[in-house]
Amino acid sequence: MIPIVLASVLIASALGCGTPTIEPLTSRVVNGEDAIPHSWPWQISLQYERDGEWRHTCGGSLVAANWVMTAAHCINTKLSYRVVVGKHNLVEAEAGAQAIVPEKIIVHRQWNPILVALGNDIAMVKLSEPVTLGDHVHLACIPSAESLLPNQYPCYITGWGRLYTGGPIADKLQQALMPVADHETCTQNDWWGVAIRRSMVCAGGDGVVGGCNGDSGGPLNCKNADGTWEVHGIASFVSGLGCNFIRKPTVFTRVSAFNEWIDEVMMNN
């Protein structure tokens, strides 16, 4: 079973993070549904330039006005990138959307692109200028260090990834309910087994809903007891058997394992 990556200083515990002006409708990403426009206002589209066009490749989360958190495997040093905030439909011009080029991209020093299952699939993108925050652009909250969610905790993946294995990417931002599969569950032999490390978090695994190529780097959004949304995961990889293969949940970098690294990067760059 070969895992495949999902590719095709002010930290965001700041006042007001994780509280969208437009509340998401949390009542199908593979077998997801269209999100309410701008209800996940920290979601960004990471795009690269090819043949004079900008193309979506990954998601990410806006954690400060000039910082985005995404997956390390989304970054190719040979490509030129831009970050687009305030988007819902990638193929339409939308009022309030902003496109900003990076000033700097920092990939975790222990990321190994050949051995994805070693973890550390996290990168920070410093923007060349701060975005303008508002109803359509808002900061994500980061959970406190080493926060762990219980089994079946309800979380939502969001992204413009493929609508099914091998299918087209979504035009409109998708959302899908994907409950957490805790470490004990996800490391069972008929799940992911020893491939899952403590620095990861699994979600989904029902064989119906899952992240897919293009959702990489995007958030696993989980509402805390205070009603604030926190980004607990960064979409990292799925099974080579398919994006929504049963008992092979989408695997995320667990954000709460990297608070110290995130702080260090944002304060020193």
* Residue type at 247 in one-letter notation: R
Is there a catalytic annotation at residue 263?
A: no
The DSSP element (H or E) to which 32 belongs, if any, is none
Cβ 145 vs Cβ 170: under 8 Å: no
Please pick, among 45, 61, 108, 121, the residue that the annotation labels catalytic: 121
73 part of the active site: yes
Q: From 124, 143, 126, select the one nearest 69 (Cα to Cα).
A: 124
Cα–Cα dist 74/198, whole Å = 22
Give the CA angle between residues 259, 265, 19 to the nearest 5°.
55
Instruction: Please give the structure tokens belonging to residue 122.
Output: 């996290």
Which of the following is catalytic: 216, 236, 239, 256?
216
Specify the 3-state DSSP secondary structure of 266: helix
Whether residue 56 contacts residue 89, with contact meaning beta carbons closer than 8 Å, is answered with no
Residue 121 annotated as catalytic: yes
Cβ-Cβ contacts under 8 Å for 244 (sequence gap 6 or more) = 30, 31, 164, 165, 204, 206, 207, 208, 209, 210, 212, 238
**The one catalytic residue among 38, 56, 73, 108:** 73
Catalytic residues: 73, 121, 216
